[in-house]
Chains A and B, each alone.
Chain A
Amino acid sequence: MKNKKSMSAERLYKIFIYVALITLAISIIVPVVWVFMASVKHNSEFYGSPWTIPASIQFSNFVNAFEKANMGQYFINSVIATGLGLIILLVVALPASYVLARFEFRGRKFMNTAMMAGLFINVNYIVVPIFLMLLGWDDFIYNLFGDGFFLDNIFVLALVYAATAIPFTVYLLSGYFRTLPKAYEEAALIDGCGYFKTMFKVMIPMAKPSIVTVILFNFLAFWNEYIIALTLMPGTSKTLPVGLMNLMQAARGKAEYGMMYAGLVIVMLPTLILYIMVQKKLTQGMTLGGLKD
């Protein structure tokens, strides 16, 4: 009798779990599929109910996005800015995180606090000061060499991306380094490895899950970044999100919905692919807040 009752309670509980999980899953899948569908819809199909299945498949939306809205060129720019930004970020942040996590030295506490405070700096208000600073540098070398360098330069954009991501990345990576057992690096040091060798050969490979997480997070951030790219690249060379915004701003012209959603898909697809590729590693790398201090 008692057993039976707990069985049905168990069952109810299971049903509840599935209902909750499936509801959330549907609320995510439906809209995402909807965006894909909308990207092949005909312009006239956007005025009625948004939930209809496309009457025919308009690949011309994508062709238009690439040709008319120049998304191809912007795509390449975004790949460069994101890729280079990630490389610079890892080169700079990995050693710093390692040292901050595993070494005792004067000023360490201060550094940690400064990095922590850096988390609260919002790019939305520092972007113009950064722009003015680069402008000043440009003025200076313009006088010397007759050409600007820092603005409208995709490499500088990547560098700024990397710089603004440092606090969060260092925070995440050093959190992970702290969880690694001391024994490995002690053994390596005793074996006669220098500090650099220990870091590169032993510690960084061990931090791989966390590095994957950092790459994914920052890929998403850089790839979708809008405000810095807009401000630091005032010329004709743009990144994908800036191009997309241009596409979306209907201004007073008629909005080209099909092309707009095609643009959305172009921006979205790489992030989806990368995510599916690395999703397994994601949970491993997210150990935060020093669980095993």
Chain B
Amino acid sequence: MKKLLSVCMVGLMTLSLAACGSGDSGSDEKVLKISGLDGGYGTKGWEEVVKVFEEQNDVKVELTLEKNISETLRPVLTSGQDVPDLVYLSLGAEGRLTDTMVAEKQIADISDVLEMTVPGEDVTVEEKILPGFTEALTSSPYGDGNMYLAPINYGPCGLFFNAGLFEEKGWEVPTTWDEMWELGDKAKAEGIALFTYPTTGYFDAFFSALLNVTAGSETYTELMNYDTEAWESDEVKQAFEIVSKLATYTEENTVANANKESFTKNQQLILDNEALFIPNGTWLPGEMADAPKVEGFEWGFTALPKVGAEGDAYSTAFVEQVYIPSDAENQELAKEFIAFMYSDEAASLFYKYGAPKTDADNNIIEDEYNPGAVMPITTASTKIMSEGDANILFYSVYDNGAKSNPVGFVFKDTVEGVDLTSAEGILYGTVNEVVNGTKTVAEWHASVIEAVKKYND
């Protein structure tokens, strides 16, 4: 048939269609299709977990991990054909494909996974996942108590700095914003800027934590539910003002480099002692592993300082998500896979196999891997990480008194022409303008409230 059609199409297309990727068909063997992002943790962890799952369940798994998955997956999801059974792509990721899936209500309800027993263990998934994660809007975006996106790969976000520099200068890591400003002036005197950021996209984690710091977690929940009054409150205004004050301490080239092409130059500022703090996530040390660093450089990490001595420090718990598209064929099998992901066995593999290690010449060292993703499970710090692990620096931030907060708004019908939450949107994107001085903090705050109101109309 193919042959006949191709003759009809154009005389030239006579030969068989080598490029036609119809795949193997005909066998009764169940095939689980997983598509996802080839991100900072690399692909090895997934490959290993998939291998074990295949052996234990006698199924075949087709794993596709790509860097531009949000672009390649969009047409597949639009078509509703050969849709992957499981997608690993987070809310808010570049291209915002998952956000669109939520908006279009194309994601299957997977609340029943919580009742499933984790394979090989005697606990349910619900018991295994760290508290707070499944109720968060990142897992239950419609706020109806049902889980649509399964939380995976969690890590604290906060401020990174060069601990070596602090030691050398005898500076203390600030615990309140007042101390922060003092430190900013001290650093300025030495020609070091207090603050920089990679792109405004990183403000989702930073600003969420800051809102929790100034307004508390109850108000934060209201904010994420588009409560206009909450957005107008003084505590929220304070968060905006802290950012605008921080803007005056921001390294001068930051805005010019805050784009996809040059954001690593902003990250480099920390390694060169040109700036003190940068908001980021646990993947940063891996991302900058090859970059040249000043002598005595050592990664430091802290939560966001509190306001006044009484307040709380916060560090956003960043999570990624996997989900099952409603059009997927093997939903039950995909659910089993999700349950398996929370087992100690899978979690250990995800953690053991991060991005491959490279030597000084950037050649990949065989069979050596950086630490990978940490699953948000109760055994994360006891069974998955061993003592002396460099990553404990980050994950211990919550043990040291900082509270954890989630990121993300409740789902609302899209409003044409209004972009509140993307990297270039009103809430985070405007930071560039505040730093530039083209917008005042009052204008920024007002435009956020205006946008929030539009969602409520």
Residues on A lying within 8 angstroms of B by beta carbon are 42-44, 47-48, 60, 77, 80, 84, 87-88, 128, 131-132, 135, 138-139, 141-142, 145, 147-149, 151-156, 159, 230-237, 242, 245-247, 249-256, 258
Contact = CB atoms under 8 A, between A and B. Distances in A.
Contact of A249 (B19, B67, B79): B67
A208 to B, nearest CB: 22
Nearest to B2: A149
Interface in B1-41: 1-2, 5-6, 9-10, 12-13, 17, 19-22, 37-41
21 contacts: A43-B362, A88-B10, A142-B81, A148-B20, A151-B75, A151-B79, A152-B20, A153-B17, A153-B19, A233-B19, A237-B21, A242-B68, A245-B71, A246-B66, A252-B281, A252-B283, A252-B287, A253-B286, A254-B355, A255-B264, A258-B362
A138 to B, nearest CB: 8
Contact of A42 (B78, B281, B362): B362
- Give the bracket for the number of chain B residues in contact with chain A: 35 or more
A139 B5 CA distance: 15
A67 to B, nearest CB: 11
A254 B79 contact: no
A255 B355 CA distance: 12
A234 B264 CA distance: 30
Contacts of B41: 253
Interface of B: 1-2, 5-6, 9-10, 12-13, 17, 19-22, 37-42, 64, 66-68, 71-73, 75-76, 78-79, 81, 94, 260, 264, 268, 281, 283, 286-292, 355, 360-363
A98 to B, nearest CB: 20
B292 A48 contact: yes
Nearest to B70: A249
Q: Which 10 A-B pairs have the closest CB atoms?
A: A252-B40, A235-B21, A154-B19, A43-B362, A249-B67, A234-B75, A155-B13, A253-B40, A246-B68, A145-B1
Given A87-B12, A155-B10, A251-B37, A148 B22 contact: yes
B67 A159 contact: no
A251 B39 contact: yes
Given A77-B19, A155-B13, 9 more contacts: A148-B20, A155-B12, A155-B17, A156-B9, A242-B72, A249-B68, A250-B260, A253-B287, A254-B290
A205 to B, nearest CB: 22
Contact of B72 (A142, A147, A234, A251): A234
A234 B84 CA distance: 12
Contacts of A155: 6, 9-10, 12-13, 17, 19
A135 B1 CA distance: 18
Contacts of B78: 128, 131-132, 135
A192 to B, nearest CB: 29
B37 A149 contact: no
Contacts of A237: 19, 21
Q: Is the interface of B mostly helix, strand, loop or mixed?
A: loop
B71 A230 contact: yes
B19 A47 contact: no
A245 B264 CA distance: 18
A255 B20 CA distance: 31
A253 B42 contact: yes
B75 A131 contact: yes
A88 to B, nearest CB: 6
A138 B81 CA distance: 10
Nearest to A77: B19
A165 B391 CA distance: 54
B279 to A, nearest CB: 14
Contacts of B6: 155
Contacts of A145: 1
B318 to A, nearest CB: 11
A247 B68 CA distance: 9
B164 to A, nearest CB: 18
A253 B71 CA distance: 17
Contacts of A131: 75, 78-79
Nearest to B21: A235
Contacts of A80: 19
Chain A CB count within 10 A is highest, among B38, B260, B289, B362, for B362
Contact of B5 (A141, A151, A256): A141
A60 B37 CA distance: 25
B429 to A, nearest CB: 19
A254 B373 CA distance: 15
A100 B35 CA distance: 49
